[in-house]
């Protein structure tokens, strides 16, 4: 078992992907390559294209997958379509998204993702990216901060925490995770369950904003669905209610024929369903897995299948 990241619901992911020899698959979120390795062990005859925006993940996976011949791509999965086109891939037989951050990213203090490890505020998945949490916390207006905490953290003390940040940085820049934690605690107190939840929500909201995670997900899901060959499957594991809502809504939209408003009697949208939804409700990890891997507790796994007779993207 790798200490980099323990893959969540690996068997269910494999069952759902229905790998076949010679098929072309994508791991959109390679991380420590736990799922990718499980895919190769289940079906060594696959062709795998794997993405991660984090150079450390690509380096780890290069070692772990040394016995196989994956194409590892350091890129945002938002650019899935163009990156695959660059590799002359026109259609895929399955794709896996295991969203969020890896244990390695959270546990590595210097990445600045975690409120219980003191470090410079950072939170960039791709460390070549310019925008970091340091900039967001010190340079965003109070209104912008309130919006980030409310929108991405669903935090009810968003306004008070944004104002506390504004007051604190008027005298001294907020440099570290500990600085930010102290400001949050000055608003919601120390030691209670609610204070802990607020810290989780504020740090998560900043991470989602810094990495523009929700927009990337929407773009990539739509492109992935278009790229799927008939019968190909898309498997998405999310750990945050906003992500799961995006997955659910995009699957629902792409599994629907007409999407005209109810007042329109004769369809004018010409929308045709491309997907069959395989999981009416999200699948969750079992109690045994949750007790051995706490990160699996919030996982929600949704699966859909490209309808037969649907083509993937035509190259222009």
Ligand X SMILES: C[S@@+](CC[C@H](N)C(=O)[O-])C[C@H]1O[C@@H](n2cnc3c(N)ncnc32)[C@H](O)[C@@H]1O
> Could you list the residues that contact ligand X (CB under 6 A)?
5, 7, 29, 31-35, 51-54, 57, 76-78, 98, 100-102, 125, 216
Query: What is the nearest approach in angstroms of ligand X to the Cβ of residue 216?
Result: 4
CA dihedral 153, 155, 161, 163 (to 10 degrees): 90
Find residue 49's DSSP bridge partners: 26, 71
Residue closer to ligand X (CB basis): 14 or 24? 14
Neighbours of 18 (CB within 10 A): 16
Pick 102 or 204: Cβ nearer ligand X: 102
Q: Which residue from 125, 126, 31, 49 is spatially nearest to 86, judged by alpha carbons? A: 49
Pick the closer one to ligand X by CB: 54 or 223: 54
Length of the chain measured in residues: 316
Query: What CA–CA distance (Å, rounded) separates 8 from 56?
Result: 20
Smaller CB separation from ligand X, 52 or 155: 52
Nearest to 249 by CA among 223, 231, 222: 222
From residue 166, alpha-carbon distances to 28, 183, 276 in Å are 37, 10, 48
Answer yes or no: are the C-beta atoms of 20 and 90 closer than 8 Å: no
CB of 38 to ligand X, least distance (A): 8
Q: Which of 250, 298, 275, 286 is nearest to 99 (CA)?
A: 298
Question: In the bound complex, which residue of the shown chain has the CB atom lying closest to ligand X?
Answer: 31
Between 181 and 211, CB nearer to ligand X = 211
- Strand order, beta sheet including 92-98: 71-74, 47-52, 24-27, 92-98, 228-238, 300-306, 275-277
Q: State the nearest-atom distance from the C-beta of 258 to ligand X, in Å.
A: 32
Q: Which residue number, 32 or 112, has a Cβ lying nearer to ligand X? A: 32
Q: Which is nearer to ligand X, 56 or 310 (CB)?
A: 56
Smallest gap from Cβ 36 to ligand X, in A, equals: 7
CB of residue 19 vs ligand X: minimum separation in angstroms?
15
Minimum CB distance to ligand X, residue 240 (Å): 12
Rounded to 10 deg, the angle between the 193-210 and 213-227 helix axes is: 60
CB half-sphere exposure, 213, CA atoms < 13 A: 32
Minimum distance, C-beta of residue 99 to ligand X, in the bound complex (Å): 6
Q: Which is nearer to ligand X, 7 or 23 (CB)?
A: 7
Question: Cα separation of 222 and 27, whole Å?
Answer: 16
For 170-308, where are the E strands, in sequence order? Answer: 228-238, 275-277, 300-306
Smallest separation (angstroms) from ligand X to the CB of 57: 4
């Amino acid at each position: 078992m790798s200490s980099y990241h323990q893959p969540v619901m690996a068997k269910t992911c494999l069952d759902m992907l229905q790998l076949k020899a010679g098929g072309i698959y994508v791991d959109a979120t390679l991380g420590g390559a736990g799922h990718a390795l499980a895919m190769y062990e289940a079906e060594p005859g696959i062709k795998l294209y794997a993405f991660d925006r984090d150079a450390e993940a690509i380096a780890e996976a290069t070692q772990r997958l040394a016995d196989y011949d994956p194409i590892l791509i350091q890129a945002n999965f938002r650019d899935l379509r163009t990156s695959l086109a660059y590799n002359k891939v026109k259609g895929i037989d399955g794709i896996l998204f295991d969203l969020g951050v890896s244990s390695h990213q959270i546990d590595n203090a210097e990445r600045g993702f975690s409120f219980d490890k003191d470090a410079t505020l950072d939170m960039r998945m791709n460390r070549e990216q310019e925008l970091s949490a340091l900039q967001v916390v010190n340079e965003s207006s109070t209104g912008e901060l309130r919006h980030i905490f409310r929108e991405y953290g669903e935090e009810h003390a968003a306004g008070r925490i944004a104002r506390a940040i504004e007051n604190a940085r008027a005298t001294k820049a907020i440099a570290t995770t500990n600085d930010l934690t102290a400001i949050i605690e000055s608003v919601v107190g120390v030691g209670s369950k609610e204070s802990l939840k607020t810290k989780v929500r504020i740090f998560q909201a900043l991470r989602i904003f810094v990495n523009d995670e929700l927009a990337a997900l929407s773009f990539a899901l739509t492109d992935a669905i278009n790229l799927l060959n008939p019968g190909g499957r898309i498997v998405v594991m999310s750990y945050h209610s906003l992500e799961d809502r995006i997955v659910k809504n995009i699957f629902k939209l792409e599994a629907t024929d007409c999407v005209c408003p109810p007042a329109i009697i004769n369809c004018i949208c010409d929308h045709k369903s491309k997907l069959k939804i395989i999981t009416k409700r999200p699948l969750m990890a079992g109690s045994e897995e949750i007790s051995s891997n706490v990160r699996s507790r919030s996982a929600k796994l949704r699966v859909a299948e490209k309808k037969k007779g649907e083509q993937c993207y035509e190259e222009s």
